[in-house]
Structure 1
């Protein structure tokens, strides 16, 4: 009798389902959206500028009871990477499920367009019936392709959804942001005497105060996370909701934020899957568990879609690590660094579960290039002051010096990533493996970062730079990467190849050829001065900027004078664009005060605003001009 009753009930539900499909057509998502509990709610709680400095990660100095409790009921990921070590590129990775390096969006606040058929992940969720809210930071480097969120503001909340509608909600907490660890006055709660000072930082009162205040802010952030969790529990929704807590990149302390070391890329990730949705959990999920699976921000968008039963679109480059469309665990995770605010750089990194490899494509630039925003932190100021006074020893000196071409670190034996194993005989196999993995990823996704930023924007002509990157005629990446590898090899070899490269058909190849000569210094520039003089009139303004910097630093008096004039002529953002202007001003900033002095009045007259720019880009030219003027006043 029980069997017959169950059969009748099942047949009834089947008939009801068929009737609904008949009424709604083939749109099963409508039925799912109207069926309370048929799909999970998804809650993402994020915090800014903090690594896994939490109790649940074994940090005994931390005071994070709410996140620790969530971890005890869920699982933590030990190897989660933010893909980018700074907010805007990291958030671009999250919202697109793609590497910003292939979108032309790796640089801070450089707004680009997506191809027309590429949507942001909340749009796919909304199409499937989810109510999507973001409270409230966006900060993407890509323009939104239409309406992305149902609500995105400080009042956005899952409680505003329709009855029975599943929700996807983000709550972002800024209290742990870089700016909050340096604001004064602040009465410390954590004892600065008990701080663990990383090997690369000097042990000073200022540094200890910043670290202690950072932990104070994490405790405050933890309390906000607790409020989010309590609100969910009070509504009786905890058991209907998959919860993520994660940080948006490493800590806001210098040499963490902005650098693609593990210290800048590793973030906490705590995930809770309620029992009713355990079928969506990964195979290694267990209560109060730990996973060493490699996951990253590029994987978050496809994972969110997978949890909602949506197959991730083919253009997403990440891999779902949960849900219906979970993929196999990945062997590597990748990171990157591009322009940070007003300073250019190009770094790529890759890790497996134990080792981290870094390729510095601009090793002539010191790690700690002057960034106005970063230098507001007391740690940065005292660290640089001590270095200039000659009071530091390695590894505390490294941050203020130029970079090696390559770096390799054992993350198990070297927590602070200060012992470079590049020349270790016993590590040559892993070095080759990770180097190859990084090169393959660059070619696989067609990394656009090897094109000068100004040309990323000019070649796309207001369209999607991604499409330019996928076009081998416009962007012959293998040739460009080969020249970039020669340029950044860290040796004096390849002079003839670099000089020949100045005549290449592709401007990005010429850019890297000029960069390689600049990196090699005075002898290389003097040997190539005739070819470089011709490049001073290159059709690419970006090539002209690099050529002028090389001749300005190492050419004879006449060549230097002409180079300085070239850089000044390219520094007007309203005339040649903000990206060319930044590149030119960076070049001027690298020249001696004596060489720049004759044009200081022209620099002072440069326009500091361009009303057509995204507001987040407005300050960068101003900062560079002010820095050059400050140096002139100190001579």
Structure 2
């Protein structure tokens, strides 16, 4: 009843506070068509960006007619959260939608950008990938399929059309057999990868796929020109996040977030351009996916609604340039993590809120890439030296990189005296953004869905009583700081009335390891009976990893008792199974039969998430087999 009253009050406030007038362009004026051509899993590895190894003539030609953006971020380093950012014009972190292939509701009054365009008379098509983490409110597209096309509109009707090319996707850079076109000997191997034939082959094949993608872009552009529409159409070409190679995709470094963005505005619509736009030009303006929806609306004469969190950088309602870009990482497939990043034009700052987790957590899908496999084998064999070792180790709390002098982001400047000013600047910017958008990522995924109970999680995030973010963020900062003198504050946090504060207090002990856990063992044992199942999971993992034998037994029993997705739900089960995985095969051997009997299918779970429990169970069983 209390939660329901809060949500009702918030819904009413949002409805009253978000009523804005959307001014469509005068129907008597010619409105531009807009064509978005997108590609998957590729950074700015294009000729027009100065990459001499790349072969991309069609995109290069488009760039010679328009402007390339040197500093464009996808906000998320993986497809579904990135596409969620695009379609909503909002940070998924405030929607409860940051996690890979989650599925949450939007507040009913928040529409997706094609819905605003359709109301203004545009014919909107998507060919064909959606992959959003939010459920739609009403019909999004006029057509969304492999047959969707701007040519199906009514005569004279302006269109907005998306064509998405998947040939450069991660899965396409590792499929074999493949006859290489690019010479692997000439491929640039980043400092964090080992220089092996497998790695060079993957990088060369990646560039082959980019060339194939470029040809498809050329077909889109040719079709538009042959229809006589090139002079009436604003064109965007962009990638959906960084390269599909490991440590780019899924990681909110610049390498995982920077995407190519080329925009062409025909002469008749140049009044919609910004001062930094010019033919055959470059813009160093900071732009990101959260800006695309308001920019699109602005280009078509529609005032972006107030709930959108991006800034239009073109069109009638364009705004001043921004000082920062923001990135995020949540759960990636079956593995939990929480990372936030921010950059200005030169430096990128990364905050790891779960530094006890190694960068390269085992992801079933990622480990299908030959580079990942050989990289891990060499690390386990002791054949690597820094910075090639970093990906398989735990993380520092903070990272700072100079993109001008360290494009691979391997020289952490956090402890550099001369960089303390920019470090503090970016830390402050990141902290302020979390508070401003009410970042919901600090709430465990299971708690988000429990509290929302079928409603929009955004509303939970905007309840100061249900989600006291300043207090939660204070505990998360302390927990992840790895400070050794935080014992008293963490113990107090374990007694807090808020579930999420207690969750981060328990996490603080887990992060600090054996000595801290053993000192707090009585309190962590009590937390095994916490009302929050998420708190129980973290306390159980801490005791299971670092406690005495009795604690280990209690931790294992707690985790296996919460690992049944049909009993405790998908998100609790994933958290519990991740905990069991970190305990190691010897400690988990006592419950291997129970693991084998866990339900790996659940028809009540959205189909996009149905494989994750099965992957975790399979991994636990593989480790048991290796331990024989």
CA distance in structure 2 between the partners assigned to 1:559 and 1:265 by the alignment: 41
Report if the CA contact (8 A) 1:567-1:588 is conserved. Answer: yes
Aligned equivalent of 2:38 = 46
**By how many angstroms is 1:493 displaced?**
2.2
CA drift at 1:492: 1.5
| 1:164 partnered with 2:153 | no
Pick aligned residue for 1:460 from 452, 457, 463: 452
State the match for 1:23 in structure 2: none
For residue 197 of structure 1, what is the aligned residue in structure 2? 189
Q: After TM superposition, where is structure 1 displaced by more than 6 Å over at least 4 residues in a row?
A: none
Task: Determine if contact 2:123/2:160 at 8 Å carries over to the other structure.
Answer: yes
Offset, 1:133: 0.3
- Alignment check: 8 A CA contact 2:22 2:303 kept: no
1:59 is the counterpart of 2:63: no
2:9 aligns with none
Q: Is the 8 A contact 1:502 1:510 kept in 2?
A: yes
CA distance in 2, matches of 1:125, 1:634: 55
Which of the residues 414, 418, 430 maps onto 1:438? 430
Match of 1:387 among 379, 384, 387: 379
1:90 to 58, 82, 88: 82
Map of 2:411 onto structure 1: 419
Q: Does structure 2 conserve the Cα–Cα contact (< 8 Å) formed by 1:507 and 1:540?
A: yes
The answer to whether 1:137 aligns with 2:129 is: yes
C-alpha contact (below 8 Å) 1:82/1:297 kept by paired residues: yes
Q: Secondary structure at the match of 1:76?
A: strand
Shift of 1:533: 0.7
Give the corresponding residue for 1:70: 62
1:397 aligns with 2:389: yes
> Aligned equivalents of 2:121 and 2:187: distance in 1?
48
Find the counterpart in structure 2 of residue 220 from structure 1.
212
Q: Distance in 1 between matches of 2:135 and 2:245?
A: 29
Map 1:228-627 to 2 at 5 A: 228-627=220-619
Deviates more, 1:484-493 or 1:77-86: 484-493
1:77 and 1:210 map into 2 onto residues whose CA distance is: 27
Aligned residue for 1:312, secondary structure, equals coil
What pairs with 1:172-211 in structure 2 (closer than 5 Å)? 172-211=164-203
Deviation at 1:412, TM superposition (A): 0.3
Alignment of 1:96-115 (within 5 A): 96-115=88-107
Structure 2: stretches of 5+ with no match in the other structure: 1-20
Q: CA deviation at 1:29?
A: 5.2
Distance 1:438 1:599 in 2: 42
Task: Name the SS for the 2:105 alignment partner.
Answer: coil
TM-score w.r.t. structure 1 length? 0.95
- Number of the residue aligned with 2:17: none
Give distance in 2, aligned partners of 1:98 and 1:82: 12
Q: What TM-score comes out, normalization by structure 2 length?
A: 0.96
Deviation at 1:559, TM superposition (A): 1.4
Give the Cα separation in 2 of the matches to 1:118 and 1:29: 18
Return the alpha-carbon distance in structure 1 between the equivalents of residues 343 and 382 of structure 2.
Answer: 34
Question: Cα distance, 1:490 vs. partner?
Answer: 2.4
Alignment root-mean-square deviation, CA: 1.1
SS in 1 for 2:624: helix
Change in 2 beyond 3 A, CA 1:139/1:27: closer
Q: Partner of 1:488: helix, strand, or coil?
A: helix
Deviation at 1:562, TM superposition (A): 1.2
Contact 1:104 1:112 in 2 (8 A): yes
Whether the 8 Å CA contact 1:30–1:129 is kept in 2: the answer is no
- Partner Cα distance (1:90, 1:576) in 2: 29
Deviation, structure 1 residue 583: 0.2
1:146 to 123, 133, 138: 138
Q: Deviations over 1:421-460 (max 9, x none)?
A: 0000000000000000000000000000000000111101
Q: How big is each residue's C-alpha offset from its partner over 1:449-496, in whole Å with a ceiling of 9 and x where there is no partner?
A: 000000111101100000000000000000000000000002222111
Q: Residues 27 and 313 from structure 1, CA distance in 2 versus in 1: closer, same or farther, beyond 3 angstroms?
A: closer
CA deviations over 1:542-574 (Å, ceiling 9, x no partner): 000000000011111111101101100100011
CA–CA distance in structure 2, aligned partners of residues 309 and 520 of structure 1: 53
Aligned mates of 2:424, 2:204 — CA distance in 1: 39
Indicate if the aligned counterparts of 2:182 and 2:208 stay in contact, CA closer than 8 A: yes
Cα deviation, 1:219-270, whole Å, max 9, x if unaligned, reads 0000000000000000000010000000000000000000000000000000
Q: In 2, Cα distance between the equivalents of 1:322 and 1:330?
A: 13
What secondary structure does 1:543 align onto? helix
CA distance in 1, matches of 2:199, 2:457: 41
Q: Secondary structure at the match of 1:590?
A: helix
Matched residues in 2 for 1:614 and 1:480: separation? 29
Unaligned runs of 5+ in 1: 1-25
CA contact (8 A) 1:79 1:353 kept: yes
Report the secondary structure of 1:227's partner residue.
Answer: helix
Residue 31 of structure 1 deviates from its aligned partner by 6.5
Deviation digits for residues 94-123 of structure 1, max 9, x if unmatched? 000000000000001110000010000000
The alignment of Structure 1 onto Structure 2 pairs a total of residues equal to 607
Asked which structure has the greater CA Rg, the reply is 1
Indicate the SS of the match to 2:135.
coil
- The CA deviation at 1:336 is 0.3
- Partners in 2 of 1:621 and 1:29 — Cα distance? 47
